[in-house]
Amino acid sequence: MTNTHELTVADTVGYEEFAALAGLEVSSIRQYASSKQTRDQFPKPLDLPGARSPRWERKVAEQWTREREQAAAGRKAGRPPKSSAERIRLDDDQRIALKNRIKDAGIPVLAIANELGFSRRAIVQRLEGLSGWNKSELQTVARMLKVKYSDIVPSRSTK
């Protein structure tokens, strides 16, 4: 990396310029820079005295953009579709039984969400049957409830 005292403003980029280089929204660059999930793979900003907002060396921003584009080459954009075979839909009796088990165990829905890395809303949608579960998600819930997976999901409901 270049000595920060030798850099000129033309050698650095801020959020807006970084976003333009990468073909992203400014909010995306801010998210990459601050998110726990992405900040370790995102370039560290320069430590410039007197700078009011983060700046990156232009060469580093261009390199990150190239690497990002190369990683995306040949890959469809967005999240890959889940096949219906990978999702488990609980029938009404199973959903009610699961909600009652959770309530009786005194486990807050938010605790389940945090354990799975989801929002509370995502868990509520699963409990209401609006969204299916992954097997690993139900296995985690079973572990939290201190029951066997088969107690929650009898083999007939895996579709």
Under a CB-based contact definition with an 8 Å cutoff, are residues 102 and 145 in contact? yes
Determine phi and psi for 98, rounding to 5 degrees: -65, -45
Nearest alpha carbon to residue 157 among 133, 140, 141, 136: 133
Residue 1: per-residue pLDDT: 54
Determine phi and psi for 63, rounding to 5 degrees: -65, -45
In single-letter form, the type of residue at position 137 comes to: E
pLDDT band, very low/low/confident/very high, at 158 (cuts 50, 70, 90): very low
- Among 45-49, 105-109, 125-129, the range scoring the smallest mean pLDDT is 45-49
7-72 shares its CATH topology with 84-157: no
Domain coordinates of the chain in residue numbers?
7-72, 84-157
- Among 11-20, 35-44, 55-64, 84-93, the range scoring the smallest mean pLDDT is 84-93
Alpha-carbon gap, residue 41 to 43, rounded angstroms: 7
Instruction: Please give the CATH topology (third level) of the domain spanning 84-157.
Output: 434 Repressor (Amino-terminal Domain) (1.10.260)
Residue 63 has pLDDT above 90, yes or no: yes
Whether domain 7-72 has CATH 1.10.3470: the reply is no
Residue 159 has pLDDT above 50, yes or no: no
Q: 155 or 35, which is more confident?
A: 35
Residue 80: per-residue pLDDT: 58
Q: Is the pTM of this model over 0.75?
A: no
